[in-house]
A and B are shown apart, each in its own frame.
Chain A
Amino acid sequence: MNFEFGLYVFVLAAFLGFELIRRVSPLLHTPLMSLTNAIASISVVGAILVSGEKDASTLSRVLGFIAVVSATTNLVSGYLITDRMLKMFRKREPHKK
Chain B
Amino acid sequence: MSVFQALYLVAAALFILALKWMSAPATARRGVISGEVGMLLAVVGTLLRHEVVNYEWIVIALMVGAAIGVPLALLMPMTHVPQRTAISQACGAFASALIGTAEYYRLHPHGFIMGALAVEILLGFLTTTASLMAFGKLHEILPSRPVVYKGQNFVNLALFLIAVGIGVTLVVHPENALLFPIFVGLALLFGVLLIIPIGGADMPTVIALLNSYAGLSACAMGFALDNKLLIIAGALDGSSGFILSIIMCRAMNRSFTNVLFGGFGQLQTTAGTGESKPVRSASPEEAAAILEDARTVVVIPGYGMAVAQAQHKIRELHDALTKRGVDVRFAIHPVAGRMPGHMNVLLAEADVPYDKLIEMDDINPELGMTDVALIVGANDIVNPAAKNDPNSPIAGMPILDAYKARTVMIIKRGMSAGFAGIDNELYYMPNTLMLFGDAKAFVSSLVKEIATTVHA
Contacts and interface: CB of A to CB of B under 8 A. Distances in A.
B96 interface: yes
Contacts of B359: 26-27
Q: Is the interface of A mostly helix, strand, loop or mixed?
A: helix
B221 A74 contact: no
Interface stretch (B26-34, B134-142, B412-420): B26-34
B22 A33 contact: no
B236 A72 contact: no
Q: Is the interface of B mostly helix, strand, loop or mixed?
A: helix
A30 B342 contact: yes
A33 B223 CA distance: 24
A97 B244 CA distance: 38
A39 B237 contact: yes
Nearest to A66: B98
A61 B339 CA distance: 36
Contacts of B309: none
A2 B113 CA distance: 11
B39 A17 contact: no
Interface string B1-35: 00000000000000110111011110011011001
A92 B243 contact: no
Given A49-B49, A85-B81, A85-B345, A72 B65 contact: yes
B344 A27 contact: yes
Residue picked from A10, A68, A73, most chain B C-beta under 10 Å: A73
Interface residues of A, number: 84
Contacts, number: 381
A16 B236 CA distance: 8
A30 B29 contact: no
Interface stretch (B190-198, B224-232, B290-298, B387-395): B224-232
B227 A46 contact: yes
A94 B214 CA distance: 37
A53 B58 contact: no
Interface stretch (B69-77, B148-156, B373-381, B423-431): B69-77
Given A17-B19, A21-B244, A37-B237, A10 B219 contact: yes
B185 interface: no
A2 to B, nearest CB: 5
Nearest to A52: B52
Contact of B57 (A61, A90, A97): A61
23 contacts: A9-B235, A14-B235, A20-B236, A28-B24, A32-B240, A33-B339, A33-B340, A35-B18, A35-B19, A36-B236, A39-B215, A39-B236, A42-B15, A44-B43, A47-B98, A53-B52, A66-B61, A67-B94, A67-B98, A68-B95, A71-B96, A73-B69, A76-B65
Interface of B: 15-16, 18-20, 22-25, 28-29, 31-32, 35-36, 38-39, 42-43, 46-47, 49, 51-55, 57-58, 60-62, 64-66, 68-70, 72-74, 76, 78, 81, 84-85, 88-89, 91-92, 94-96, 98-99, 101-103, 105-106, 112, 207-208, 211, 214-215, 217-219, 221-223, 225-241, 243-244, 247, 319, 323, 332, 334, 339-342, 344-345, 348-349, 351, 353-355, 357, 359
Interface of A: 2-3, 6, 9-10, 13-18, 20-54, 56-57, 59-61, 63-94, 97
